[in-house]
A and B are shown apart, each in its own frame.
Chain A
């Protein structure tokens, strides 16, 4: 039996307080009527009102969502392909280089990724804007997706796919009907990861954007550089709530499907036994 001591309880309490208090404080101060962050002047939702009337922020939010959507979809497709290549394609010329290019962006500092892509875009004379940010985000997010998906591909039984091929499926059908449903949870979490990475990114977007496209992180960064702003507090509160609701919903759904799968497997085991 494990002993859960006072020391354990204290470190957990303090640890989670440290992780969550800053965000709680941020949320509380977003309802502060005063413009000064240091003075509490009563409850007010006026910063939310001002935020919703600020065209700049709304435009930036729209740019960010478009970039995140397109880059995460592209990254999921490319990342799943790359994972399949890594796990299933066997030997081919330049395999070492390929896996190197998948893993290197994961440890590459963002400033370098951003700088190198910007120099490429300038070199080939591509106009910078939403399109170039999408290209940049797709490139680094696809590596994350392929790591998530390949860990699932490694653990699943290749013979299922081979059985489908023996029974007359084309390789593409076998992938769509057998492999894809099995790796689907990993593909979905890879997509979610790609989406949030893109929503979050400041450094790479700053390098690869042009004057026409300002994303939300770029906007937030230039607003808070000079100090705390109540509008940004309100915006942060909205973003924190969206993420919290999203993550909790996702975890409840995945727990349910795990329970359902377990039940199916037990039923199957009983039927065969």
Chain B
């Protein structure tokens, strides 16, 4: 009996507040826009029983999905989200790897402190960390003042409200997710392998490419997925740092819902976004699984 309660309580909670809402989104994505409250049709008529459900099912169609493929705005937004996520993942890797590498080579008594310094920003508000860049990147912001003091630039910067600002924002906020798995992989590495390679005539550079990089592969892959997956649906960064021409699907969905109030289309946008995310998520799961098996 106790076991039943233990299972039932979280189970029912998740059914009611995760699965059912998801099914509602699915259902509304197949409905039509209507000038009523709620603004879609058909609605489920519980009083009609089975007949009501049959009526509902017969009226659902894929019209919204067809609409999404026909309107260039949407597939451009999906493609541009993927592009932004891909580029910023590569940039985060390029910035994060040297940091993780330096941490793994630091004296062991320093490592817990360095680790805490990487984790600390993660506890600070995401919104505030994105906001901090607005003052820096603004046309006459802190960065401009600094660069013009050095005499490097003489006219106001055009970084804020462009995709460049979005890249900077993503690299900055997601950097800990990249550093931590790579550091975890590098820290376990046996240094005598490098020494052996150098004894056998490898240069330091080729020892790095032939040994360090392959041995930290699992960390690199995990870090890339941890940055790539959440970036695709990102809303805060493109809306604060991006411009009107920054197309990201999270922002499109938000606007479709709050500004246009077209719930069926917003729901269809959400379902397709999920379908896109399934691929990297499954790949990530498989990678984690392989890694666990490799570690025994």
Looking at the assembled complex, report how far the CB atom of A93 sits from the nearest CB atom of chain B, in whole angstroms.
Answer: 9
| Complex: A202 Cα to B251 Cα, angstroms | 13
Asked whether A81 and B6 contact (CB < 8 A) given A11-B99, A116-B24, A217-B125, the answer is yes
Instruction: Check B138 against A171 for contact (C-beta < 8 Å).
Output: no
Looking at the assembled complex, report how far the CB atom of A228 sits from the nearest CB atom of chain B, in whole angstroms.
Answer: 5
Residue B82 is within 8 A (CB to CB) of chain A in the complex:
no
Asked whether A85 and B6 contact (CB < 8 A) given A4-B106, A94-B11, A119-B25, the answer is yes
Residues of A within 8 A of B19 (CB): 97, 101
Looking at the assembled complex, report how far the CB atom of B27 sits from the nearest CB atom of chain A, in whole angstroms.
Answer: 9
Instruction: Check A107 against B120 for contact (C-beta < 8 Å).
Output: no
Looking at the assembled complex, report how far the CB atom of A132 sits from the nearest CB atom of chain B, in whole angstroms.
Answer: 10
Instruction: Check A217 against B127 for contact (C-beta < 8 Å).
Output: yes
| Complex: A172 Cα to B257 Cα, angstroms | 46
Instruction: Check B138 against A228 for contact (C-beta < 8 Å).
Output: yes
Asked whether A228 and B105 contact (CB < 8 A) given A109-B250, A247-B116, the answer is no
Asked whether A19 and B253 contact (CB < 8 A) given A112-B233, A217-B125, the answer is no
Instruction: Check A98 against B14 for contact (C-beta < 8 Å).
Output: yes
Majority-rule SS of A interface residues: helix
Looking at the assembled complex, report how far the CB atom of B42 sits from the nearest CB atom of chain A, in whole angstroms.
Answer: 13
Interface string of A29-67 (1 = CB under 8 A from B): 100000001100000000000000000000000000000
Asked whether A115 and B3 contact (CB < 8 A) given A220-B131, A221-B127, the answer is no
Residue B274 is within 8 A (CB to CB) of chain A in the complex:
yes
| Complex: A97 Cα to B18 Cα, angstroms | 11
Instruction: Check B98 against A22 for contact (C-beta < 8 Å).
Output: no
Give the residue among B17, B28, B236 with the most A Cβ atoms within 10 A: B17
- Cβ-neighbour of B21 out of A25, A84, A116 (below 8 A): A116
Interface string of B6-39 (1 = CB under 8 A from A): 1101110111011111101100100000000010
Asked whether A243 and B240 contact (CB < 8 A) given A85-B6, A120-B24, the answer is no
Instruction: Check B102 against A23 for contact (C-beta < 8 Å).
Output: no
Residues of A within 8 A of B17 (CB): 117, 120, 135-136, 138-139
Instruction: Check B267 against A115 for contact (C-beta < 8 Å).
Output: yes
Residues of B within 8 A of A196 (CB): 123
Interface hit among A158-166, A176-184, A232-240, A264-272: A232-240
| Complex: A196 Cα to B17 Cα, angstroms | 21
- Cβ-neighbour of A224 out of B9, B18, B131 (below 8 A): B131
Which residue of B has the minimal Cβ distance to A199?
Answer: B125
For chain B, residues 248 to 277, give those with C-beta under 8 angstroms from any C-beta of chain A.
250, 253-254, 257, 263, 266-267, 270, 273-274, 277
- Cβ-neighbour of B128 out of A98, A139, A240 (below 8 A): A240
Looking at the assembled complex, report how far the CB atom of A248 sits from the nearest CB atom of chain B, in whole angstroms.
Answer: 8
| Complex: A247 Cα to B122 Cα, angstroms | 11
Residues of B within 8 A of A (CB-CB), count: 79
Instruction: Check B281 against A107 for contact (C-beta < 8 Å).
Output: yes
Instruction: Check B18 against A139 for contact (C-beta < 8 Å).
Output: yes
Residues of A within 8 A of B (CB-CB), count: 81
Give the residue among B14, B107, B191, B267 with the most A Cβ atoms within 10 A: B14
Residues of B within 8 A of A92 (CB): 7
Looking at the assembled complex, report how far the CB atom of B233 sits from the nearest CB atom of chain A, in whole angstroms.
Answer: 3
Residue B163 is within 8 A (CB to CB) of chain A in the complex:
no
Residues of A within 8 A of B125 (CB): 199-200, 217, 236, 239, 243
Residues of A within 8 A of B266 (CB): 115
Residues of A within 8 A of B172 (CB): 18-19, 22
Instruction: Check B253 against A111 for contact (C-beta < 8 Å).
Output: yes
Looking at the assembled complex, report how far the CB atom of A237 sits from the nearest CB atom of chain B, in whole angstroms.
Answer: 9
| Complex: A84 Cα to B2 Cα, angstroms | 12
Instruction: Check B124 against A38 for contact (C-beta < 8 Å).
Output: no
Instruction: Check B25 against A112 for contact (C-beta < 8 Å).
Output: yes
Residue B197 is within 8 A (CB to CB) of chain A in the complex:
no
Instruction: Check B9 against A9 for contact (C-beta < 8 Å).
Output: no
Instruction: Check B102 against A12 for contact (C-beta < 8 Å).
Output: yes
- Cβ-neighbour of A23 out of B25, B129, B270 (below 8 A): B129
Residues of A within 8 A of B267 (CB): 115, 119
Residues of A within 8 A of B175 (CB): 18-19
Asked whether A12 and B136 contact (CB < 8 A) given A101-B14, A107-B277, A247-B123, the answer is no
Residue A8 is within 8 A (CB to CB) of chain B in the complex:
yes
| Complex: A115 Cα to B253 Cα, angstroms | 9
Asked whether A119 and B2 contact (CB < 8 A) given A105-B18, A111-B253, the answer is no
Residue B222 is within 8 A (CB to CB) of chain A in the complex:
no
Asked whether A8 and B105 contact (CB < 8 A) given A23-B129, A29-B135, A78-B13, the answer is yes
| Complex: A78 Cα to B107 Cα, angstroms | 41
Given A11-B98, A111-B253, 18 other A-B contacts at CB below 8 A?
A: A12-B99, A20-B117, A29-B135, A37-B142, A82-B10, A85-B6, A94-B11, A98-B7, A102-B14, A109-B274, A119-B263, A120-B24, A138-B17, A202-B126, A203-B235, A220-B127, A225-B240, A243-B124
Question: Would you list the 5 A-B pairs with minimal beta carbon distance, nearest first?
Answer: A109-B233, A11-B98, A116-B21, A15-B99, A8-B102
7 interchain pairs (CB within 8 A)?
A22-B136, A37-B138, A38-B145, A109-B274, A139-B14, A146-B10, A203-B236
